[in-house]
Chains A and B, each alone.
Chain A
Amino acid sequence: MKKKIAIYTLLITASLTFLYPFFWMIVTSLSPEKEIGGLVALPTQFTWDNYIQMFSKIPIGRAFFNSIFTALMTTSGVILFCSMVGYALAKMNFRGRNLIFYVIIFTMTLPFQITLIPNYITMVKLNLVDTYAALVIPFLLNSFAILMFRQAFKTIPDALIDAARVDGCSEPRIIFQILFPNIVPTIVTVGILTFMNSWNEVLWPLIVIRNEDMMTMPQMVTLFSVGGRAEAQIGVKLAAAVVLALPIMIAYSFFQKYFIQSMASSGVKE
């Protein structure tokens, strides 16, 4: 019994360590600037002032749209393209299949530091700087998603595919109409990971986007925080951070299990 109490105390303390800072962030962003700073800090009055100021200082609405658009395009592109590649690797016989498979594995271990600057140069030369294409295209295919789809398609019996072929189904129709309903967990996993990574990505946008109208949320909030425009007002900065965190936190509160499973599987695979 004593041991149980000790364990619960530890676990509750740990959870507070992870939850309290976020709580503090939200409360502070709703507090008047002069009241910020207390430890427990439930302010005497709530105010939207920080948010109103933040909205008037940066085009955060536009950035929000850019981020959502980029993340949705990337996610649907990854599901479309990576599932096709994964399917070909799992269920079709062709010359060079193993070679492609090894290339995918190799690409996975290649540190991004090596391709970062050359890829920026490619974007400059293709005239894609300050476009959605620059934010989406480089992320449309990735080794992890392909391997996840390959694994999922491998578990599907050949008989199902053969039956569909006998009925005259084209290969894309087999994938998207017949097999997709059977691999929903994989689609959800890949979808959540891709969306989250795209939403949180900040280094690449900082490199390829200069025009304020094209900036994504994390980039906009970063530049707002680093640049002088927040005028060292903590509440205003944190309001921007809250707006950046909220969509993912809301999604997380609904699909918590999937988030954890997805991330765990990505760790296991790497």
Chain B
Amino acid sequence: MFKRKSIYKTPNKPKGWKKTMMPYLMVSPYIIHFIVFVAFPVLFSLVLTFHEWNIISPMKFKGFNNYIKMFNDRMFWKAIVNTLQFLVIHIPLQLIFALALAEFLNQKIRFKGFFRAAFFLPVIVSGVVVTMLWQQLFGFDTGLFNRILVSVGLDRVGWLVDPDIAMTSIAIMATWKNVGLYVILFLVGLQTVPAHYYEAASIEGASHWQKFRRITLPMINPTIFMVVILSTIGGFSLFIEPYIMTGGGPLNSTLSSVLYIYKQAFQYYHMGYSVTLGFFFAMLILAVVAIQKKYLETDI
């Protein structure tokens, strides 16, 4: 075996220049793509944050103007507060429902595949469809939810027209859309918990809740962490939902960070300023994720 290898391998391998260049040739698409769509934009946006530019006329150097403008921009702070409001509602809802559904699915039951597929359907359908659908459900006069409320004798809720409620409505919709994915992730997590842990606990006389609290939760901590991170990134990426449903209103209560970047860039053509916003939001996301990482991974 060894001899055969030594005889045949060397003469037939691609030699010299061609051999050393081959791997670089194969990764070159990635390198080009990285330079054009990642490295250059990041550096360029750093430069742009110090300029005023509408793409057409030449760039004007403005020093820290964009940053000063950003910190004094009430809309910008509003967008951050809105995102935080979204996350505060969305993340707990997501965790509770996903974990509960996963726990039920993890029992010995029939039609597991059907239930899983049903929960997952909104995940694969376009956010545009989900938003248009929920826009009808949330409608003030004719929406399904208000019809139900009225039929049981309650008052209509201004799901999308009341500035105090609109972001909550969007957070509920986002939970409905994404929860199926997290159910699957939790199911994977739950199946990694060794069955004999539960058996041992049963022998000791532990209740269902105790087992869940003391065995399940600590064991699936990595999944919880992942769900929180993914939901956070999702929250900061919120765009099409407010774009279709509310346009950021009422009273800018659903203006999301990406929607604000989009508006600055394509309604007002403030390229320098919108890039500054994008840059700052990206840093903010990285910081929030880093903080979550620090606390969630060490806790519990």
Contact = CB atoms under 8 A, between A and B. Distances in A.
A237 B131 CA distance: 12
B244 A241 contact: no
Interface residues of A, number: 87
A172 B121 CA distance: 38
A166 B13 CA distance: 7
Nearest to A263: B181
Interface stretch (B69-77, B160-168, B234-242): B234-242
Contacts of B194: none
A259 B124 contact: yes
Interface string B34-65: 10111011101100100000010000000000
B159 interface: no
Contact of A113 (B118, B128, B133, B281): B281
A113 B258 contact: yes
B181 A7 contact: no
A111 B121 contact: no
B8 interface: yes
Interface string B1-19: 0000100110011100000
B261 A115 contact: no
| Most chain A beta-carbon contacts within 10 A, residue among B33, B129, B185, B244 | B129
B197 interface: no
A19 B42 contact: no
A118 interface: yes
Nearest to B233: A111
Interface in A19-43: 19, 21-22, 24-25, 28, 37, 39
A124 to B, nearest CB: 6
A114 interface: yes
B206 interface: no
Contacts of B274: 117
B108 to A, nearest CB: 9
A129 to B, nearest CB: 11
A85 B282 CA distance: 27
A188 interface: no
B282 A114 contact: yes
Contacts of B116: 260
Contacts of B38: 107, 110, 115
A260 B123 CA distance: 9
Contacts of A238: 132-133, 136
Contacts of A25: 129, 133
Interface in A93-149: 93-94, 97, 100, 103-104, 107, 109-122, 124, 138, 140-141, 146
Given A14-B115, A117-B275, A207-B266, A264 B128 contact: no
Given A18-B121, A111-B286, A245 B129 contact: yes
A218 interface: yes
B119 A14 contact: yes
Contacts of A117: 45, 261, 265, 271, 274-275, 278
Contact of B26 (A87, A241, A248, A264): A87
A210 to B, nearest CB: 10
Contacts of A156: none
Contacts of B23: 88, 92-94, 97
Contacts of A21: 133-134, 137
B278 A88 contact: no
A171 interface: yes
A84 B107 CA distance: 42
Contact of B128 (A120, A202, A260): A202
A222 interface: yes
A260 B114 contact: no
B8 A166 contact: yes
Contact of B34 (A107, A171, A200, A222): A107
Given A140-B33, A146-B30, A245-B129, A122 B41 contact: yes
A268 interface: yes
A200 B126 contact: yes
A-B pairs with the 10 shortest C-beta distances? A118-B41, A114-B282, A15-B118, A94-B23, A111-B282, A115-B41, A88-B26, A141-B33, A200-B126, A92-B23
30 contacts: A11-B109, A18-B119, A21-B137, A28-B136, A39-B147, A39-B148, A88-B27, A92-B23, A107-B34, A107-B38, A110-B38, A111-B286, A113-B285, A115-B41, A119-B37, A121-B44, A203-B239, A203-B262, A206-B262, A207-B266, A222-B128, A222-B243, A222-B244, A248-B126, A249-B124, A252-B124, A256-B120, A260-B117, A260-B120, A263-B120
Interface of B: 5, 8-9, 12-14, 20, 22-24, 26-27, 29-31, 33-34, 36-38, 40-42, 44-45, 48, 55, 101, 104-105, 107, 109, 113-129, 132-137, 142, 144, 147-148, 151, 176, 180-182, 184-185, 188, 226, 229-230, 233, 236-237, 239-240, 243-244, 247, 257-258, 261-262, 265-266, 271, 274-275, 278-279, 281-282, 285-286, 289
Given A141-B29, A244-B129, A268-B188, 14 more contacts: A18-B176, A89-B27, A93-B23, A110-B282, A112-B237, A118-B45, A121-B55, A140-B29, A166-B9, A168-B12, A202-B128, A203-B258, A225-B135, A267-B181
